[in-house]
Structure 1
Amino acid sequence: MKNIFKFVLMLAVFQLIGTNTKAQSVPDSTMQQIKDFRAFYETLGKVYPPDSTVTVNETTISGVKSYWFNQDLLNQGEIIVYLHGGVYTYGNFNTYRAMLTHLAKSFDSSILYIEYSLSPEHPYPTANNEIFKVYKALQKKYKNHKITVMGDSAGGGLAVALIKDAQKANLSMPASLALISPWIDLKCANDSYETKQELDPILNKGFLYSHALMYSSNNIKSADPSELKFKKFPPVFLLVGTDEVLNDDARNFYAYIDPIQEKSEFKEYDGQKHVWLFSHIDSKESVEAIKDIKQFIFSN
């Protein structure tokens, strides 16, 4: 729990931009706060050690830096693409390395982590375009591989947007998606932003909405995954804690997708906060979630 308390303290100190500030004109003082918060966020990746048995290799795909976990297992014909969270503004390879080594070990599969560009220096749609380019390249190079997409928080929203981009380009969709605590509604309009606030020590509506404005250059509707409409969608597993403001993002998206895709699944994890695997990889609920994800993605 120590890292959660550190996160709360940083949020209390970190007062972000006003709602009328455009991403292109973020003040120097705010950019310094962002850089400081990025440095802090990176330290959360050291809460537990990585699995030393998992190999990690840096690569560049279509001009986008990425990292292979268990690249030697590519001959198994499975690729899991991972899109990290961090409200489109924070997070990097060092932040997520430990968690992804444990996922790669548990799944016994290759994982590709994409180091997409961050806001506000690179607002929407830069990250979306980079992720799409990597996905397109994977489809071309690994034609006979089964590709799954995982994402947490903002990475969940990016995964949803990737499906729309793939459909527009007439590319094959991923075999399935697994989204952990996905942030899908950039308008922050779902009820749980209010009803779950007292239970959530990590996120709050103001923090999320200010970053949505920054990411979208004050045009949230254009960048908002919840505004996307689908007639078809791959099997998707939505995992969320009972104690987080993003609870309804997962719940409402499931309600929307379930009539379209009968293999959709939604599961709440009792008492869990935002992306609980990131904080405690070996907790009972994290072990359960990893088992659930593995069963889902390898059955679709």
Structure 2
Amino acid sequence: MSDIFELRARKPSLLMRLLTWFVSKQPKVFPDDPAELRHLLATRPAPEDAPMPDKFNTRFQVERWQCEGHECVTLHPRSGKGEGHILYFHGGGFILPILEVHWPLIAALIDTTGASVSVPLYPVVPEADHSAAEAMADALFAKISQDWSPETITLMGDSAGGNLAAALALRLAEAGGPQAGKLVLFAPWLDVTLSDEAARGIEPHDIMLRVDALRVMGEKWAGARDPRDALVSPLYASQQQFLQLPPTAIFQGQHDLFVVDCRTYAKRAAEAGKPVRLYEYAGAPHVFMALLPTREAKDCLRLVAEFMRG
């Protein structure tokens, strides 16, 4: 596995340790208890997207448009349309809309890569069926492909958004049409069943995620579909499906229970003959790249820019 795996940080930076501690003291994004989570999903009001910061209107060129009845925000560098385009799917366990923390990460991607970025504010479950988000993703790629060559488009996402990005690449391959040029996954959720019990060994170190609660969210996302279908859980793609994916870069913290499935996914992609690289960071939590001041996040974004240019 040494040819596809690279440990970028052998121990967490001081700032990473401090920010991880700070995040661990904040209210949980998701309830840990599955019963509590089910109750929350059954009784909550419809969740609302965190608004884009007002300063983005002067920092970037901003387009707001509708796709499949839902809002999409496209951000261009202030100088104009980027040479490349990132289609970015935010995380949130399939149950949360875009969070405040996502917007600075998206801004950093524009600054680092010089690309334009489209951010779908996709509908979440259980208020909407999974098919609504997937239809939006398909329509977005088709629309963006009218203005950018498919090979200049990078599919990207964090956590559940990484699942959406990888699943979109699989659907594009299945359709036999144009494929995106690159696939970049930040701490992706690749198996909604979390069937590999090795994740339990990482769980005590993970400040955000719990296996049993995640399985509830994965169940809600899958709905009536087989949760081990590759279009639901990309980890289960066949060798032929992996072969049709774009070159892939995965960025993962080692204190994130998704690291187990990321290693399996990277190994399977490589065995199929697909260019793939898994970058890991010791002591880093789930979606560590959102901790922008850290050495690890800066290294990750620099590697993304290099990968997109390569």
Please, which of 223, 228, 231 is the counterpart of residue 237 of structure 2?
Answer: 228
1:5 maps to 2:25 = yes
Determine the C-alpha separation between the residues in 2 that align with 1:177 and 1:9: 26
Does the C-alpha gap of structure 1 residues 4 and 215 become closer, same or farther in structure 2, counting only changes over 3 Å?
A: same
Matched ranges for 1:27-66 at <5 A: 30-33=41-44, 42=50, 53-66=59-72
Could you say what secondary structure the match of 1:161 adopts?
helix
SS in 1 for 2:304: helix
State the 1:30 CA deviation: 3.5
Task: For 1:285, give the aligned amino acid.
Answer: E
Compared CA separation, residues 298 and 247, structure 1 to 2 (3 A): same
Structure number with greater CO (CA < 8 Å, separation at least 6) is 2
Structure 2 equivalent of residue 86 of structure 1: 92
- Give the letter for the 1:127 counterpart: A
Q: Summarize the alignment of residues 241-256 of structure 1 with structure 2, pairs less than 5 Å apart.
A: 241-256=253-268
Answer yes or no: is 1:123 the counterpart of 2:124. no
Residue number in structure 2 paired with 1:292: 303
* Partners of 1:182 and 1:250 within 8 A in 2: yes
Cα shift readout 1:120-140 (whole Å, capped 9, x = no counterpart): 111222211210111112223
Sequence identity (%): 17
How far is 1:235 from its partner? 0.3
The answer to whether the aligner puts 1:203 opposite 2:209 as a matched pair is yes
Aligned 8 A contact 1:185 1:249 in 2: yes
Partner of 2:104: 98
Equivalent residue for 1:108, pick from 107, 114, 118: 114
Check conservation: 2:87, 2:118, Cα contact below 8 A: yes
Task: Tell me if structure 2 keeps the 8 A contact 1:64–1:134.
Answer: no
Q: Whole-Å Cα distance in 2 between the matches of residues 139 and 9 of structure 1?
A: 34
- Residue 205 of structure 1, CA deviation: 0.3
1:272 is aligned to: 284
User: What SS is found at the alignment partner of 2:200?
Assistant: helix
CA distance in 2, matches of 1:203, 1:122: 23
Q: Which has the higher helix share?
A: 1
Corresponding residue for 1:133? Answer: 139
Q: Please show how residues 63-82 of structure 1 align to structure 2 within 5 Å.
A: 63-70=69-76, 75-82=81-88
Deviations 1:159-185 (CA, angstroms, capped at 9, x unpaired):
111112112222211111110100001
Determine if contact 1:50/1:98 at 8 Å carries over to the other structure: no
TM-score by length of 2: 0.81
- What SS does structure 2 have at the residue aligned with 1:11? coil
What's the CA shift for 1:60?
A: 2.1
CA distance in 2 between counterparts of 1:293 and 1:161 reads 20
Against the structure 1 CA distance between its residues 146 and 116, is the aligned structure 2 distance closer, same or farther, given a 3 Å change threshold?
same
Whether contact under 8 Å (1:193, 1:246) holds in the other structure is yes
1:207-218 to structure 2, matched below 5 A, reads 207-217=213-223
Residue 257 of structure 1, CA deviation: 0.6
Cα distance, 1:210 vs. partner?
A: 0.5
Runs of 4+ in structure 1 deviating by more than 6 angstroms, as ranges, are 49-52
1:239 to 2:251 alignment: yes
How far apart, in 1, do the equivalents of 2:212 and 2:58 lie? 38
* Structure 2, unpaired ranges of 5+: 1-18
Question: For residues 150 and 189 of structure 2, what CA distance do their matches in structure 1 show?
Answer: 31
Q: CA contact under 8 A between 1:79 and 1:112: conserved in structure 2?
A: yes
Name the counterpart of 1:21: none
The SS at the match of 2:228 is: helix
Task: Measure, in 1, the Cα distance between the counterparts of 2:82 and 2:289.
Answer: 26
In structure 1, runs of 5+ residues without a counterpart are: 18-26
